[in-house]
Amino acid sequence: MTDTTPKISIRGLYKIFGNDPETALQRVKDGIGKAELLSETNHVLGLNDINVDMPTGKTTVIMGLSGSGKSTLIRHLNRLIEPTAGEILVDGDNILDYSARQLRDLRQHRMSMVFQKFALLPHRTVLENTGLAPSISGQRPKAYAAEATKWLDRVGLEGQGNQYPAQLSGGMQQRVGIARALTSNSDIMLMDEAFSALDPLIRTDMQNLLIELQNELQKTVVFITHDLDEALKLADHLVILKDGFIVQQGEPQQILLHPNDPYIEDFVADINRARVLRVRSVMEKTTAPAEGVSGEVDHDDTLENVIEASGGDTNKHYKVTRDGEQVGVLHMRDLVRALVPRGPSAETASH
């Protein structure tokens, strides 16, 4: 499987909560909105025609305000919630066709989940919590201890295996949750508001840890958040939900530069663009020799870093490199223009 092949593909996914979802589904397909459906039929529209490809080995972030459908969506991926209609393909297989045995295998070996509330078992040690997946498969602690200890060490919990969850801080407990997911050796990690309950400094540490682990392991991560700063920091592919439907999805930098809806504009209005935007998003793509440049910058540098290096001189331009090779030229005037929010674009809309 190539890196460009989606690990997970969602096609025409609907979820309607109520006594007669099939009848309500037709109303939704005819165009009725979430509020109207509730008032007229007493049914709740959870998901409305969701279509997403989640790339292999990358982080897909699903974000939206409370009630947007993001947690409902992630619980469909391991069938904790059953859809009203649609398909969910994992490695090309529609998991809605899975037998009970196949579904158990999916949950135990191919997908792991990290919860907001940690979900650790209080009567088990940290080591035993970390080895939950092999334990469920019938292994005894001696068999999985080395693997569990490896991942506890990797997430910064050296020597904590014999402790109990109540003896750990919230940040440490969440590290156990991540180590548990890694010990399961699953290709896919589902993370539902995994860092939302943590203090800001600890939350930043956990975000950095996830980025570090992703650079090393390249899991397929599906991460739920309501925080745009977190989404922009973590996402390779960003999906923004509202009232159960996708308002916009795509590469985060491009969504920031080209919002396609007033809803998205409101989301990105207060973002520090210089701190978030990268050189690669505003450079002129060219391998032609760059003349009269003031130096080199990396394609992944923030605009804030370049502004500092340039002293704010808008007449300068820089050679842009990636792994030592030229990939473009950055003109400071283009950089300055990128700092000014634009109106909605027609690009990359998905409804």
The tens place of each residue's pLDDT in the chain, 351 residues long, gives 445 689 999 999 999 999 999 999 999 999 998 999 999 999 999 999 999 999 999 999 999 988 899 999 999 999 999 999 999 999 999 999 999 999 989 998 899 988 877 788 999 999 999 998 888 878 888 888 999 999 999 888 999 999 999 999 888 898 998 999 999 889 999 999 888 888 888 889 889 989 999 999 999 999 999 988 899 999 999 999 999 999 999 999 999 999 999 989 888 888 888 988 999 999 999 999 888 999 999 999 999 999 999 988 889 999 999 999 999 999 999 999 999 876 554 444 444
For residues 155-191, b (16+ Cβ closer than 10 Å) or e, as one string?
Answer: bebeebbebbbeebeebbbbbbbbbbbbbbebbbbbb
Q: Write down the pLDDT at residue 346.
A: 43
Listed by start position, the domains of the chain span 6-250, 273-338
* Intra-chain end-to-end CA distance of the chain, in Å: 29
CATH class of the domain whose range is 273-338: alpha beta
Angstrom distance (rounded) from CA 15 to CA 86: 9
Q: Write down the pLDDT at residue 344.
A: 54
Q: Write down the pLDDT at residue 3.
A: 55
> Within its chain, how far is the Cα of 351 from the centroid?
19
Angstrom distance (rounded) from CA 195 to CA 226: 11
Distances (CA, A) of 255 to 53, 129, 263, 267, 277: 16, 39, 12, 11, 11
pTM of the model: 0.86
Q: Write down the pLDDT at residue 342.
A: 67
Is residue 149 within 8 Å of residue 180, measured between CB atoms? no
Which of the following CATH numbers is that of domain 6-250: 3.40.50.300, 3.40.50.720, 3.90.700.10, 3.50.50.60? 3.40.50.300
Q: Write down the pLDDT at residue 139.
A: 85
